[in-house]
Amino acid sequence: MLGASAAAAVLGGALPAAAAAAPAGVTLRWWGNNSWEIRVPGEKTVLIDPWLTRFPTGTYTPAGADPRTPLSVDTALIDRYVDSGELRADHILVTHGHYDHLTDVPYLARKTGATVLGTETHLNLMAALGAPEDQLSLVTGGEYLTFGTYRIRVLRSLHSASGARAKVAFPGTRPNFGLEKPPVPTEIQHLVEGGTLAYQVEANGVRVLDFGGSNYVESELAGLRPDVVLLPAGGGSIADYAARLLRTLGFPRYVLPTHWDDFDYPLGEPARDWGGLDGLREAVEQGSPSSRFVVVDHLRTFSL
């Protein structure tokens, strides 16, 4: 469960950006893990790593995730949110290929018609899972793309590294997109990392930067000045993880923690800290005291 300090920061409704001079019309809704919905002026929506199904894996238990855990997609749950208009997408951005980031994306792409951005490996895995290939768009990092009322900047990044040997979970690639589909993934170990990207979404003067793992390429971030950073908990194996990042980014106005909830528990329940939230809060407060650390609960909204 959430500790007292974490629970005090979780608010039950929209979180106004009090420091902003005027509303920007950009909202961020947290769908758990690193799943974020960014709605921008013009009734457009960008989803990052949307994963609603949340099947149990034991990831945050002492034994860790069982690599043979079967993949599943709760289509009824996704249908309920999409058919009601509560969830929609014009673009879906995939940071890396792991099960807790990619599993639901092929079905969501078919359901919404969204364009999906990812690396060659991500697209190959999604095609094998039935994603419409004409909706899959290859990016490698360095792209700066304009789509009417918003822009997407794609950045080369790194996945979290853990343990004494600083290893990446389920490493590997699946190349040859469009030429050679891999076998259909059926277990979580089949969804390999496949390269990691970060994304900055820009709309109406607001810049939102998301990292899918608790690591980054510092040189890729030079000159970026996001207003909001969606920052994963963790980073224990990364030198000066939060402070170095926030200094490089010019000490952003807001830091919203992401990837801090134990996803063995349902999305419809309040988020349960797997143990990284307070450490991240402390690191942000020490490394960037001018930044406002805002914890958003499941399905709640932060408004700018």
Please say whether the structural domain 4-303 has been given the CATH code 3.30.70.260.
no
Nearest by Cα to 228 from 270, 271, 199, 195: 199
Written as tens digits, the pLDDT of the chain (304 aa) is 333 333 334 443 334 443 444 568 999 999 999 999 999 999 999 999 999 999 999 999 999 999 999 999 999 999 999 999 999 999 999 999 999 999 999 999 999 999 999 999 999 999 999 999 999 999 999 999 999 999 999 999 999 987 777 789 999 999 998 888 889 999 999 999 999 999 999 999 999 999 999 999 999 999 999 999 999 999 999 999 999 999 999 999 999 999 999 999 999 999 999 999 999 999 999 999 999 999 999 999 999 9
Q: Name residue 28's beta-bridge partners.
A: 38, 302
**What is the pLDDT at residue 22?**
57
At 33 the three-state DSSP class reads: coil
Q: Is 125:148 a contact under the CB 8 Å cutoff?
A: no
Single pTM value for the model:
0.92
HSE-up of 253 (CA within 13 Å, CB side)?
Answer: 12
Where are the chain's structural domains? 4-303
- Spatial distance between the Cα atoms of 281 and 196, rounded to a whole number of angstroms: 24
**What is the pLDDT at residue 162?**
79
- Spatial distance between the Cα atoms of 41 and 276, rounded to a whole number of angstroms: 33
Largest CA distance in the chain: 52
**What is the pLDDT at residue 188?**
98
Question: To which residue do tokens 């005027």 refer?
Answer: 22
Neighbours of 266 (CB within 10 A): 10
**What is the pLDDT at residue 166?**
78
HSE-up of 233 (CA within 13 Å, CB side)?
Answer: 23
At 279 the three-state DSSP class reads: helix
**What is the pLDDT at residue 153?**
98
- H or E segment to which residue 106 belongs: helix 105-112
The DSSP output letter for 264 is T
Q: Is 27:303 a contact under the CB 8 Å cutoff?
A: yes
